[in-house]
């Protein structure tokens, strides 16, 4: 079973509008972390935002916010006021457990969503 | 502070040839990783290392070898290149301490084509 599922292979959004990229995850570990990365056409992986399973509030980083719905096991990325430079692949990833709990130091990635921002 | 650097950026190999992909980090991170990314796919873990002298297999280790003699360097060795190893390879590092929050920092990637 896939641990990270991104159901949108591609998404389109008009410049200056908001867009939501979906991510659902599967884990039985009560402690986990969720990450979003951006991969522009140049290929590098850029860390965007992090959400911990015990965090009470949704994470925000500038124009990026994470809509974390723990009961639904979803961690959707919201990009507000889209810019042309936001066009890229976006990957959701999960890390399970903590070092003190013998957790995993490994990230599991979804297949990604290609976002295109239209002028 | 260069972060994670990888060499080469691009390489074409013939089937059966060998090569080493180099990875260096200057952030004193204890953990280092090698991933491959096939077209239209996410990243899959090949090998990782929890510190100098300690390595372990990831999801797709066949056809690869690694070593880690120093904290900074984590080379990936392809012994007998096959077309199935055509991919983009990313090296990453992180500090794995007591918090789950530490992110992985990625290198720019090495594009490998096996013909």
Amino acid A47: pLDDT: 92
Could you tell me how many residues make up chain A?
A: 119
For residues B41-52, average pLDDT: 90
Q: Which pLDDT value is given to residue A56?
A: 87
Q: Do B43 and A91 touch (CB under 8 A)?
A: yes
What per-residue confidence (pLDDT) applies to B5?
A: 96
What's the token pair of residue A108? 């599991």
Give the pLDDT score at B100. Answer: 55
What is the structure's pLDDT at A19?
98
Q: Nearest-CA neighbor of A11 among A60, A82, A71, A100?
A: A82
Q: What is the mean pLDDT of chain B?
A: 91
pLDDT of residue B39: 84
What are B107's two structure tokens? 């290198």
* A62-76 burial: b if 16+ Cβ within 10 Å, else e: eebbbbbeeeeebbb
Q: How many CA atoms lie within 13 A of B1 on its CB side?
A: 5
> Residues near A30 by Cβ (< 8 Å), separated by ≥ 6?
A53
pLDDT at A88: 97
What is chain A's pLDDT, residue by residue, as a tens digit (119 residues)?
679 999 999 999 999 999 999 999 999 888 888 999 999 999 899 999 999 888 889 999 999 999 999 999 999 999 999 999 999 999 999 987 655 555 567 788 999 999 999 99
Choose, out of B5, B33, B100, the residue to mutate when testing the contact with A (most A CBs < 10 Å): B100
What letter does residue B69 receive in the DSSP assignment?
Answer: S
B interface with A, Cβ–Cβ < 8 A, is 31, 33, 40-45, 48, 50, 58, 88, 90, 92, 94, 96-101, 103-106, 108-109, 111
Report the pLDDT value the prediction gives residue A107, as an integer from 0 to 100.
85
Separation CA B99–CA B101 (nearest Å): 5
**What is the pLDDT at residue B112?**
96
Cross-chain residue pair A45–B45, CB shorter than 8 Å: no
What's the confidence (pLDDT) of residue A100?
52
Structure tokens at A63: 């124009």
State yes or no: pLDDT of B42 exceeds 80. yes
Residue B77 burial (10 A CB sphere; 0-12, 13-18, 19+): middle
> Would you say A48 and A36 are in contact if contact means Cβ atoms under 8 Å apart?
yes
Q: What phi and psi, each to the nearest 5 degrees, are found at residue A23?
A: -150, 125
Span B61-100, pLDDT tens digits:
999 999 999 999 999 999 899 999 999 999 999 887 655 5
Please tell me the predicted confidence (pLDDT) of residue B101: 61
Q: What is the number of alpha carbons within 13 Å of residue A22 lying toward its C-beta?
A: 10
Q: Which residues of A touch B2 (CB under 8 A)?
A: none
Which of helix, strand or coil describes residue B73? strand
Cβ separation B48–A106 shorter than 8 A: yes
């Amino acid at each position: 079973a896939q641990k990270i599922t991104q159901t949108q292979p591609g998404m389109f959004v008009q410049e200056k509008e908001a867009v939501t990229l979906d991510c659902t995850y599967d884990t039985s570990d009560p402690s986990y972390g969720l990450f979003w990365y951006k991969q522009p056409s140049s290929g590098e992986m850029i860390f965007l935002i992090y959400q911990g399973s015990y965090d009470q509030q949704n994470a925000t980083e500038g124009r990026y916010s994470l809509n974390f719905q723990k009961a639904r096991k979803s961690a959707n990325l919201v990009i507000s006021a889209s810019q042309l430079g936001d066009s890229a692949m976006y990957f959701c990833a999960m890390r399970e457990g903590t070092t003190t709990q013998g957790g995993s130091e490994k990230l599991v990635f979804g297949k990604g969503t290609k976002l295109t921002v239209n002028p | 502070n260069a972060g994670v650097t990888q060499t080469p950026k691009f390489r074409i190999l013939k089937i059966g040839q060998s090569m080493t992909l180099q990875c260096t980090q200057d952030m004193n991170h204890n953990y280092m990783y090698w991933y491959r990314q096939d077209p239209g796919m996410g990243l899959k873990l090949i090998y990782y290392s929890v510190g100098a002298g300690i390595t372990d297999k990831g999801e797709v280790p066949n056809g690869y070898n690694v070593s880690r003699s120093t904290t900074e360097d984590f080379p990936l060795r392809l012994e007998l290149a096959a077309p199935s190893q055509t991919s983009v390879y990313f090296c990453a590092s992180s500090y794995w301490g007591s918090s789950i929050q530490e992110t992985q920092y990625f290198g720019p990637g090495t594009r490998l084509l096996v013909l």
